[in-house]
Structure 1
Amino acid sequence: MSLVKTIRQTLVPIHKQGYPFIAIFFVMSLLLGLLWEPLMWLGFVLTAWCAYFFRDPQRLTPLDDDLVISPADGRVSSITKLTPPEELGLGSEPMLRISVFMNVFNCHVNRAPMRGRVARIAYRKGQFVNAELDKASHDNERNGLVIDTAQGEIGVVQIAGLVARRIVCWTSHGASLQAGERFGLIRFGSRLDVFLPAGAQARVSLGQTAIAGETVLAEFGSAKGPTIGRRD
């Protein structure tokens, strides 16, 4: 195996959304170095962190319409039944909500939890309180997707946090998403809520570490044995 191929397989790709920020961090480091050299090296460390933040690794996603896959890297911070945000149009009955909290060291690329068609996209302005708090679901700035799946409509909500000030969503109304497919990201610390209809059973525990595109958050029906996967 050639050295170049080994390096390519070792390095984690960086999402294009991060290129402008990495460039800004790098240029600022050089400018700070003109004032005092130690500041330049500190800036290079922050530049490396910025590149790490925008990493976009491949994931092996289980392909099964009964499985709900984590849309984000992070910690499972809530498993409860709650009425979904009004703007999603999912009704007033409580649904199973599983929340994944992302800190500034998690990969922030968001992935579709199930295969389906984007039925609605609803953006709502709001506050920027700590995304780990339960009230962030209602108070914070957020962007919600309703995905029409084989199990019915589910809600996926990107929630801005105390540090995060920018929600990015590049999918569109009517688009078809595969489970594990990238649909957006949030800068720089935030949370993803998944609202699931009746029949879904949680398959994670509070505090468990979830991996976007790989960890099974919930399941509809009974297990059917081994499942094939898709690497992306």
Structure 2
Amino acid sequence: EGHPFLAVAAVLAALCWWVAQTQPIVAAAAVLFTILAGFMVFFFRDPGRRPPDVAGAVVSAADGRVVAIEPLDGADEYVGDAATRISVFLSVFNVHINRIPLAGEIDVVERRSGRYKVAYAEDASEQNEQSVIGIRQGDTRLVVKQIVGILARRIACYLQPGQQVDLGERFGLIRFGSRVDLIVPNHVEIRVSVGDRVRAGETVMGVIQ
């Protein structure tokens, strides 16, 4: 996903540095594009992650900070009974690779159009454009939502219904700041609090009871 952005920035930087040899005024642009290329390398970084060895663990699908943990007013259309939503906000400085929170089978992959409100807004989970993923493991069903923000308008999701997935497996990303919601049934004991910093594929968000 990041290769086209990096390639463009690198080519422009190289071109500007070449021109700057005879036109020093272009050096400022060369520096700018070099910094931009460095930022692209930083933003699209993909560090390795090791899932926890915890029975029944549900891990974070994204790096970032937990901004909300709230029970849903009614039953979720996929999870069913009473459920809890855990929202993680990603800044541009976080790793943006998304990872599978629960090993199992992909039941649902749906793209929903919507608005582009700031990702941390309370109603962003319902109103913003998003990718909705339903994962099933035995009797446990949960939902992951990749939600766009005011700047993050490109969702990449590589999953297909019927696909078997492993805990911590990479499945997509959202470009340039975003939000990821995790909706879990009430038989998952929540292990994080609002304000916690979490890491995709590693931080235990909850445990199936």
For normalisation by structure 2, the TM-score amounts to 0.90
Deviation at 1:95, TM superposition (A): 1.0
- Aligned with 2:12 (options 16, 28, 31): 28
Deviation at 1:136, TM superposition (A): 0.6
What is the 5 A alignment of 1:192-211? 192-211=180-199
Identify the residue that residue 168 of structure 2 maps to in structure 1: 180
Letter in 1 for 2:8: I
- In structure 2, relative to structure 1, the CA distance for the partners of 1:108 and 1:85 (3 Å cut) is farther
Q: Is 2:133–2:144's contact at 8 Å kept on the other side of the alignment?
A: yes
Alpha-carbon distance in 2 for matches of 1:84, 1:54 = 37
Distance 1:65 1:112, change over 3 A: farther
Which residue does 2:2 correspond to in 1? 18
Describe the SS at the equivalent of 1:168.
strand
Take 1:178 and 1:48, find their aligned partners in 2: how far apart are those partners?
A: 32
Distance 2:115 2:75 in 1: 15
**Moved >3 Å (runs of 4+):** 30-35, 83-86, 88-91
Q: Is the 8 A contact 2:107 2:161 kept in 1?
A: yes
Aligned pair 1:126/2:114, yes or no?
Answer: yes
Q: Does 1:62 align with 2:52?
A: yes
Higher mean C-alpha displacement, 212-221 vs 56-65: 56-65
* Residue of structure 1 equivalent to 2:22: none
Secondary structure of the structure 2 residue equivalent to 1:62: coil
Residue identity opposite 2:69 in structure 1: I
How far does the alpha carbon of each residue in 1:168-214 deviate from its partner, in whole angstroms, 9 at most, with x for none? 01111100111100111111110110111121121111111101111
**Cross-structure match for 1:224:** none
Distance 1:150 1:25 in 2: 46
Deviation at 1:30, TM superposition (A): 3.8
Cα distance between partner residues in 2 of 1:127 and 1:212: 25
- More moved, 24-33 vs 149-158: 24-33
**What residue number does 2:98 align with?**
110
Q: Does 1:190 align with 2:174?
A: no
1:151-180 per-position Cα deviation (integer Å, ceiling 9, x unaligned) = 511101100111111100111110011110
Cα deviation, residue 28, structure 1: 2.8
Aligned residues: 203
With over 3 angstroms needed to count, the CA separation of the structure-2 counterparts of 1:42 and 1:20, relative to structure 1, is same
Letter in 2 for 1:48: G
1:45 aligned residue (35, 57, 63): 35
- Residue pair 2:106, 2:164 contacting (<8 A) in 1 also: yes
Unaligned ranges ≥5, structure 2: 20-24
Q: Which residue of 2 aligns with 1:95?
A: 83
Task: Note the alpha carbon deviations across 1:78-108, whole angstroms, 9 max, x for none.
Answer: 111115897x5444x5411111111111111
Structure 1 unmatched ranges of 5 or more? 1-16, 222-232
- In 2: Cα distance, 1:84 partner to 1:64 partner: 30
Maintained 8 Å contact 2:130/2:148: yes
